[in-house]
A and B are shown apart, each in its own frame.
Chain A
Amino acid sequence: MENNFDKQIKALARMLSAFFGLLLVLAGGLFYLKEHPNAFEKNSVPKALPVTQTEEDYDKVENGIHIATGFVDDDHMELVIQNCTNCHSAKLVTQNRMSEAGWKATITWMQETQNLWDLGVNEEKIIAYLAKNYAPNQKGRRQNLSDIEWYELKK
């Protein structure tokens, strides 16, 4: 019995040291990445310098838009960020317009085919946010040309 207790203590100690070892490796990795921010990049793919951003910037809202993601700042936006931007960009959400039924069908489709998890009690809140802020507007069969930038044509 005592022997068994000893064994358990030793096993726990091993697990703890492995855990702290892992933390050290992670910390070391983060430090290395700080010094070498392009460590993961391939030579064949030129990339621009990363845009640095502070936590303050991350929460910034201008004219009702959450700057970091482009989402409309409204109730349950955080839930939407947490659940809807893991696989794809916020841009895939914000460029679309759907009714409540449409957003619900889209979520179901993602759950059935794209590995989206069960949203549980949050589903209703997420759909409410989307249906309110990204609802369809009537465009008719052809819209007027808009956003025309007038310029003098010189030839």
Chain B
Amino acid sequence: MASALGAPVVFGHRLPKDYLPLALQDQDPFSLFSKDKEMVVLNDRPWNMEAKAHLLNDRITPNTYMFIRNNGRIPEAVDANTWRLTIDGESAVSPKSYSLHDLKTKFKHHTYQLTLECGGNGRSEFNPPAKGNQWTVGAVSCANWTGVRLSDVLKDVGVKTDAVYIGYHAADTHLSGDPKKEPISRGVPLAKAMQQETLLAFKMNGADIPLAHGYPLRLVCGGWPASTSGKWLNRISIRNQVHDGAKMGGSSYRVPCETVAPGSKVEEKDMCIIESMPVKSLITYPKSGALLKKGKSLTINGHAWAGELAVSKMSYSIDFGSTWQSCQLEDPANRLAWQHFRATIAFPKKGYYEIWAQATDSNGVGQPMVLPGWNPKGYLNNACHRIAVKVV
């Protein structure tokens, strides 16, 4: 036990035989965060958890199937009554601080359904492998977020003409316990901050935001890497330069500005910050592995999204990409929300099939069938989703 704690346990011999010090106690994350038991825990310190494709079948993602991506420790003892958001920075006319009550009463409320996908979703497929949590397909969600527009609050503070970026700061704490270190402090260019859908949110799906997702206040920047949507938000700095907080530099949330061969070493100066996420889709019904009687048709459905853009076309293939058929594709509930698709498939004969899904965005750019460009941290894998089906 001492070796596990990294320190001798004083009076260890007096501990009851079946007693485990608090530091080593396991917590059940499913009840802790109200998550479905089928969710997959990738990491328990910090907490990182993802969905499986078939769990994401809801049109609006409920908390129970929403992925968790944390960089540090979840803040303890959050008190919404005393919570404050400070807006400061070189390009703020003068710093200003708001209570949650101020935000809720001074500014108009808006609700949008917003797609949040982890920049590293799909990392597990990269070759050579990329460092970090090995997300498969389930680090994406599309919930309803309610709050006030960041632009309304920024205008209330006053934005100087030299402003180019905003950076967030939050109440989560660094894994090392160092109070001077922020686990993550990212941001977005001013233009994204001023979009009408960019929210300072205090509700998710009509209720208080769950603690693991940023209670009591979260910045939500739909369509961009979810790391730009800072949780437990307590400060936003209006910057006259690209924000330089934790995980804005190095290989964090950055990819080579020019494409590189797999496994290449890339200099820091040759890395560019990820902005909009690429076009992507998921088949959420049926669950992979369906056995189907010959002669029966199958109706598949799922979601497609394209970062800042809309999805304009959705196709599927049952012959490993040789031929493609169209799916019915719905319009999004609002800009930056995922779009639902469905298709009814008749299989010509018995056998093993894979159903591949390919979305194409409004610029005519589609999902690749193999992995997209390799990058050192394994971001932006939008290779087409595949499920297995056997006709028997």
Chain A interface residue count: which class? Answer: 35 or more
Given contacts A50-B25, A68-B4, contact A92 B133 (CB under 8 A): yes
Q: CA separation between A30 and B15, bound complex, in Å? A: 8
On whether the beta carbons of A153 and B298 are closer than 8 Å, the reply is yes
A136 at the interface (CB under 8 A from B): yes
Q: Which residues of A contact B (CB under 8 A)?
A: 23, 26-27, 30, 33-34, 37, 40, 42, 44-48, 50-55, 58, 68-69, 78, 81-82, 85-89, 91-92, 95-99, 102, 106, 109, 113-116, 136, 138-143, 145, 148-153
Cβ contacts under 8 Å, A136 to chain B? 127-129
Q: Which of these, A96, A141, A143, A148, contacts B131 with CB under 8 Å?
A: A96
Q: Which residues of B contact A (CB under 8 A)?
A: 1, 3-4, 6, 10-11, 14-20, 22, 24-28, 31-32, 41-46, 76-78, 125-129, 131-134, 174-178, 181, 211, 250, 286-292, 298, 354, 369-371, 383, 386-388, 390
The residue on B at minimum CB distance from A151 is B289
On whether the beta carbons of B129 and A96 are closer than 8 Å, the reply is yes
Cβ contacts under 8 Å, A54 to chain B? 17-18
Cβ contacts under 8 Å, B126 to chain A? 139
Cβ contacts under 8 Å, A138 to chain B? 127
- Give chain A nearest CB distance to B267 CB in angstroms: 14
- Give chain B nearest CB distance to A77 CB in angstroms: 10
Cβ contacts under 8 Å, B128 to chain A? 99, 136
Cβ contacts under 8 Å, B250 to chain A? 109, 113
Q: CA separation between A53 and B21, bound complex, in Å? A: 10
- Give chain B nearest CB distance to A25 CB in angstroms: 11
On whether the beta carbons of A45 and B211 are closer than 8 Å, the reply is yes
On whether the beta carbons of A91 and B41 are closer than 8 Å, the reply is yes
10 A-B pairs (CB sep. < 8 Å): A44-B78, A52-B20, A54-B18, A89-B43, A95-B42, A95-B134, A141-B370, A145-B386, A150-B289, A150-B291
On whether the beta carbons of B27 and A47 are closer than 8 Å, the reply is yes
On whether the beta carbons of B43 and A51 are closer than 8 Å, the reply is no
Q: CA separation between A113 and B175, bound complex, in Å? A: 12
